[in-house]
Amino acid sequence: MNDFQYYAPTQVVFCRGAENRAGELVRQYGGTKALLHYGGGSVRRSGLLDRVKASLDASGVAYAELGGVVPNPRLSKVHEGIALCRAEGVDFLLAVGGGSVIDSCKAIGYGMKYDGEVWDFYEKKATPRSSMPIGAVLTIAAAGSEMSDSSVITNEENGKKRGVNSDLCRCRFALMNPELTFTLPPYQTASGCADIISHTMERYFSGGETVEPTDSIAEGLMRAVIDAAPKAVQNPEDYDARACIMWASSLSHNNLTGSGRGGNGRVGDWACHQLEHELSGMFDVTHGAGLAAIFGAWARYVMPSAPGRFARFARNVMDVREPDDEAAARAGIAAYEAFLRGIGMPVCLRELGLELTEQQLDQLAWNCSFADTRTIGSIRVLTREDMREIYRLAR
Amino acid sequence: MNDFQYYAPTQVVFCRGAENRAGELVRQYGGTKALLHYGGGSVRRSGLLDRVKASLDASGVAYAELGGVVPNPRLSKVHEGIALCRAEGVDFLLAVGGGSVIDSCKAIGYGMKYDGEVWDFYEKKATPRSSMPIGAVLTIAAAGSEMSDSSVITNEENGKKRGVNSDLCRCRFALMNPELTFTLPPYQTASGCADIISHTMERYFSGGETVEPTDSIAEGLMRAVIDAAPKAVQNPEDYDARACIMWASSLSHNNLTGSGRGGNGRVGDWACHQLEHELSGMFDVTHGAGLAAIFGAWARYVMPSAPGRFARFARNVMDVREPDDEAAARAGIAAYEAFLRGIGMPVCLRELGLELTEQQLDQLAWNCSFADTRTIGSIRVLTREDMREIYRLAR
């Protein structure tokens, strides 16, 4: 087992009506004036925003409002949030939404404590030293941002999507009511499940040694989501399926599944995420769907470097009963693609709606390799040429 | 899935030499003068205490010392600790040891913030409202106290062993170096493993509905410890086995395995723990060995109330391949007893060294039922008569 750190301090309240405790928890963590940060009109139409406001009112917490966060959240909205929070004297950030809204809050939190340009952190030109306290009312189970140390922002001026990781931004609390995800459309639900499983896979396929009990936990989480995903897609109001997906989203990305793999629990392969970040930076695709579309090409390309690990995945997660490791590995990849197709996910870029030119493949690989200055991946280290080949295979 | 809360804020540093970061972490959490609390002479002889002191010195943290904590930690030592901390102006409690030392620290922490008698909390005559900050350098993997909300103390004046649960006492940090457990004798190692598995079992056998992913996680943890325990018993310096056991000890009792079962993650059966508490209160047996000795009698007595759950345990944890549920359940219980015997654990009270008289059986059931005023268990609710019968069957 490798050395590691584990720190997941977020207080989780998981129940129907959890959103009604927002005011109490903001108070508990010292907030007196909150930024209420959210996305589109659905939180307003559903009445959720009113319930959260009533809860803040009841606890005597004042608030300012900033909606309009979009998937692949934008730097311009972050700037808007920082300016608003400074003008309003906000001392707590309350995200009402999914990963995009929470990630936007995290960026605002960093920016509030920094005199320079917040994008510096995302360009790795600076390291955050402080942040604001953040809480979340979760409405989409996917990104796991409610318990993670991660924030990913897209700079719409240059199409770059970049992430920052720091314990400073971990949510003080997360209010999780699976009923809030009942209205999520099947495609978004399925994309979320693909993202959740990918967060576990990125660590599971790190290329390091076997780590029990972490491997067993990861396999259990993946099996649980593979079981629940079709139920939630077919019956959006299946509470247990929604609850399973929501809790798995948090556990898949709070570093539990990275325990014993080194570092702060994020040690892993992360090539699929990096390859997808460039896709959704350039084309604004749904993150989970992008991950689904790239998985098969990546997996077949790198599998020969670690057939035993892919075979273990095949047997313990996909119930493949094939004695030969390479054959089992291939069957496992195909079985996972069949699962993805079954919940309506693309398994190649064309199914994602992208018909890429040779020039675009070059551009994606160029961007993903930071202009040929970095490699990605750990189960197999990928150069710019490898990245281009995986994008090509994924067409 | 039932409503639940999850809160496991302890910062874990898991590596060789973790103890050398004690000073830095006490400082990080605001401590300037620590109580260095420990058990017998082994932490002194091994040089561990000196390394921790050097780390505190290097960070400018002053300290007072109190050793002598024994297994089934005593109320008198807690009183001594409170008096010492008050006299010395201690503002941080640092446990260097296993569950007994950490539990003693937790009791001192409650007592420091309370004008009355600290035993009131353990008798449920009062509820703790505050505590002191606590950190741990873990030397025994068993109780899981380093991440749990639990403290169990024995009042040697009346032989009662009682527990308090509160998030207030959760450790700020836990420094986990598996090498520190290399010197643990085989019997203590095996007892620890029995305790770790029991913490997962108590929640797994709660009698509630199936909760994926929690059930999968629990099964993975149990399998991992069952795999690692004989390795650590046979080769005390097997780092990976020691690391697996140490991390499983924390995860088995930090409420992860109770997620979705209701409440704060402690919802479970807990009958084996209650039955064992009376044993070790009266006879001062090793907690994990006591749990091992009582398990089979309890399991066979309650299994007919939930054969499906015991069959799932048998198949998913003990690799039983028997189609009939009741037969699988019995085979699973027997297989688990065989595992316990294999690591040198008792599977009945006689093997634990206790030859109980009829009168002692009566007394144990009387104590465990709080003088016939409570039942225990949830997969099957047990009256005083049931408790007595399980003690008798366990002879």
Structure tokens at A51: 């319930």
Q: How far is B13 from chain A (nearest CA, A)?
A: 5
User: Are residues B4 and A14, on separate chains, in Cβ contact within 8 Å?
Assistant: yes
* Residue pairs spanning A and B at CB distance below 8 A: 117
Assign B346 to helix, strand or coil.
Answer: coil
Q: How far is A31 from chain B (nearest CA, A)?
A: 19
User: Are residues B251 and A212, on separate chains, in Cβ contact within 8 Å?
Assistant: no
User: Are residues A213 and B219, on separate chains, in Cβ contact within 8 Å?
Assistant: no
Helix (H) or strand (E) holding B9: strand B4-14
Q: Judging by beta carbons within 10 Å of its beta carbon (0-12, 13-18, 19+), is residue A221 exposed, middle or buried?
A: buried
Conformational region of residue A382, where left means phi above 0, alpha means psi within -120 to 50, and beta covers everything else = beta
pLDDT in tens, chain A (395 residues): 899 999 999 999 999 999 999 999 999 999 999 999 999 889 999 999 999 999 999 999 999 999 999 988 999 999 999 999 999 999 999 999 999 999 999 999 999 999 999 999 999 999 999 999 999 999 999 999 999 999 999 999 987 888 999 999 999 999 999 999 999 999 999 999 999 999 999 999 998 888 888 999 999 999 999 999 999 999 999 999 999 999 999 999 988 998 988 777 678 899 999 999 899 878 878 999 999 999 999 999 999 999 999 999 999 999 999 999 999 999 999 999 999 999 999 999 999 999 999 999 999 999 999 999 999 999 999 999 999 999 999 99
Beta-bridge partner residues of A7 = none
CA A133 vs CA A66, B64, B172: distances in Å? 17, 35, 18
Per-residue pLDDT at B94: 98
CA angle (B57, B59, B60) in 5-degree steps: 65
Q: Do B224 and B197 contact (CB within 8 A), yes or no?
A: no
Q: Judging by beta carbons within 10 Å of its beta carbon (0-12, 13-18, 19+), is residue B55 exposed, middle or buried?
A: buried
CA B260 vs CA A53, A227, B1, B213, B271: distances in Å? 27, 17, 5, 9, 20
C-alpha torsion angle, residues B223, B226, B231, B232 (rounded to 10): 110
Between the two ends of chain B, the Cα-to-Cα distance in Å is 38
Q: Tell which CATH classification among 3.40.50.2300, 3.40.50.300, 3.10.310.30, 3.40.50.1970 matches the domain B17-176.
A: 3.40.50.1970
Nearest to A223 among B12, B216, B240 (CB): B216
Nearest to A260 among B217, B220, B243 (CB): B243
- Best mutation target among B14, B20, B146, B238 (most A Cβ atoms within 10 Å) is B14
Instruction: Report DSSP letters for A249-310, one per residue.
Output: HHHTTSSGGGTTSSTTTT-S--HHHHHHHHHHHHH---HHHHHHHHHHHHHHHHGGG-HHHH
Nearest to B31 by CA among B93, B81, B88: B93
- Find chain A residues with C-beta within 8 A of B224's C-beta: 212-213, 216
Nearest to A134 by CA among A78, A163, A96: A96
- Find chain B residues with C-beta within 8 A of A11's C-beta: 5-7, 9
**Domain(s) of CATH 1.20.1090.10: residues in chain B:** 184-393
User: Are residues A248 and B223, on separate chains, in Cβ contact within 8 Å?
Assistant: no
Q: Where are the beta strands (DSSP E) in A54-209?
A: 62-66, 92-97, 134-138, 150-155, 160-165, 173-176
Residue in A closest to B9 by C-alpha: A9
**Domain(s) of CATH 1.20.1090.10: residues in chain A:** 186-393
Sheet arrangement for strand B134-138: A62-66, A33-38, A92-97, A134-138, A173-176, A4-14, B4-14, B173-176, B134-138, B92-97, B33-38, B62-66
User: Are residues A212 and B259, on separate chains, in Cβ contact within 8 Å?
Assistant: no
Conformational region of residue B263, where left means phi above 0, alpha means psi within -120 to 50, and beta covers everything else = left
Sign of CA dihedral B66, B279, B190, B329: negative
Assign A71 to helix, strand or coil.
Answer: coil
Q: How many helices (H) and strands (E) does chain A have?
A: 15, 8
Q: Do A149 and A255 contact (CB within 8 A), yes or no?
A: yes
Q: Do A81 and A110 contact (CB within 8 A), yes or no?
A: no
Q: Tell which CATH classification among 1.10.240.10, 1.20.1090.10, 3.90.1150.10, 3.60.21.10 matches the domain A186-393.
A: 1.20.1090.10
Sign of CA dihedral B300, B305, B308, B312: negative
Residue in A closest to B317 by C-alpha: A216
Nearest to B290 by CA among B271, B272, B310, B302: B272
Any idea what DSSP says for residue B18? G
Instruction: Report DSSP letters for B304-340, one per residue.
Output: GG-HHHHHHHHHHTS----SSHHHHHHHHHHHHHHHH
Quote the CA–CA distance of A292 and A314 in Å, as a whole number. Answer: 17
User: Are residues A260 and B248, on separate chains, in Cβ contact within 8 Å?
Assistant: no
Quote the CA–CA distance of A134 and B7 in Å, as a whole number. Answer: 16
- Find chain A residues with C-beta within 8 A of B227's C-beta: 212
Neighbours of A373 (CB within 10 A): 7
Residue in B closest to A246 by C-alpha: B213
Assign A382 to helix, strand or coil.
Answer: strand
CA B297 vs CA A68, B293, B331, B337: distances in Å? 61, 8, 14, 11
Indicate the pTM of the whole model.
0.93
Assign B115 to helix, strand or coil.
Answer: coil
Looking only at the bridges linking them, the beta strands covering B33-38 and B160-165 are: unpaired
Residue in B closest to A12 by C-alpha: B6
Per-block mean pLDDT, blocks of 10 residues, chain B (395 long) = 93 97 98 97 94 98 97 95 98 97 98 97 96 97 94 90 93 98 96 96 90 90 96 97 96 90 80 93 89 98 97 96 97 98 98 96 96 96 98 97
Nearest to A217 among B220, B227, B259 (CB): B220
CA angle (A110, A114, A120) in 5-degree steps: 75
Quote the CA–CA distance of B88 and B323 in Å, as a whole number. Answer: 64
Per-residue pLDDT at B41: 84
Per-residue pLDDT at B265: 66
Quote the CA–CA distance of B347 and A1 in Å, as a whole number. Answer: 31
Cis bond before residue A213 (omega within 30° of 0)? yes
CA B385 vs CA A122, A237, A356, B369: distances in Å? 65, 45, 74, 9
Sign of CA dihedral B288, B293, B296, B299: negative
Quote the CA–CA distance of A45 and A42 in Å, as a whole number. Answer: 5
Nearest to A259 among B178, B216, B247 (CB): B247
Task: Determine the CATH number of domain B184-393.
Answer: 1.20.1090.10
**Domain(s) of CATH 3.40.50.1970: residues in chain B:** 17-176
Quote the CA–CA distance of B278 and A121 in Å, as a whole number. Answer: 56
Neighbours of A180 (CB within 10 A): 26
A159, HSE (Cβ side, Cα atoms, 13 Å): 13
Task: At A115, give phi and psi (nearest 5°).
Answer: -80, -25
3-state secondary structure B162-197: EEEECHHHCCCEEEECHHHHCCCCHHHHHHHHHHHH
Helices (H), A113-175: 119-122
Quote the CA–CA distance of B215 and B222 in Å, as a whole number. Answer: 11
Helix (H) or strand (E) holding B136: strand B134-138
Single-letter code of the amino acid located at B204: Y
Structure tokens at A139: 């409405």
